[in-house]
Amino acid sequence: MNSAAATGEIVTIFIGPQKKRYNIHKDIICHHSEYFRAAYNGRWKEADEGVTLEDVEVEVFHIFVHWLYTQRLPTKSEYDGIVTDADPGKLDDSEKVDGGYGVLKACAFANRFLVADFERITHDFCIQTWIGASLGVSYKYIIFSYQNLPDDSLILKLMVEIQCLFWISSCDEPDEMEIRPELPHKFLIDVMSRHAELRETGDYQGGKLNAVDFYMGERTKEG
């Protein structure tokens, strides 16, 4: 699909408040995204000067465009290049190394813009990254996920499981302690409810989680 579309029409999309310009093959982005397919056949049909998505981060759109043309997520070295071209001042050292937060944001982007295959690959990357988290998932990730992912997301379910099975209060770093009050109400209720279930059933799974239980299934491509 990508090689055939590479000679087709180019569309321009401006990203973020800085309006960073992207020139993308229309057939490629419309093939993979129901949102962009509908938009370019509807309200964006006559948008000769390009369209602007001001509330999308450049870093996230970089990851999406990389996937559009390669059908894979960037490697660590490629991600470092993406961050450099975006805004490295907004990322802490751990995110610059593995891109975990960027991929989580990309997963939320994929869900919002209906890019099923991209959502699956970013979702499963997050699951694989966190499945072995021995002390819990970063509160920053939890806050973002509960604000930007659907209620039935398996990422949210995994976060609750990890919090119930592995979290130790005394191991929270000072920066985590500082944002504890910002934890979503729903997350706290979910953790309380899951703790009650585990206590009643005694099913603590031997302190182990299986990544396959949280992966997204294959989705049928459209278009």
Contact 153, 145 (CB under 8 A): yes
The pTM of the full predicted model, rounded to 2 decimals, is 0.84
Tell me which DSSP letter residue 183 carries: S
Site of tokens 């072995």 = 132
Decide if 74 contacts 99 (C-beta within 8 A).
yes
User: Residue 6: what pLDDT?
Assistant: 60
Distance CA 190, CA 38 (A): 36
* pLDDT tens-place values along the chain, 223 residues long: 555 456 688 999 999 998 999 999 999 999 999 999 999 988 787 667 789 999 999 989 999 999 999 999 988 777 766 655 544 444 444 333 345 889 999 999 999 999 999 999 999 999 998 887 667 889 999 999 999 999 999 999 999 999 998 888 888 899 999 999 999 999 999 999 999 998 888 776 666 788 888 999 754 444 3
Residue 18's nearest CA partner among 66, 70, 90, 67 is: 90
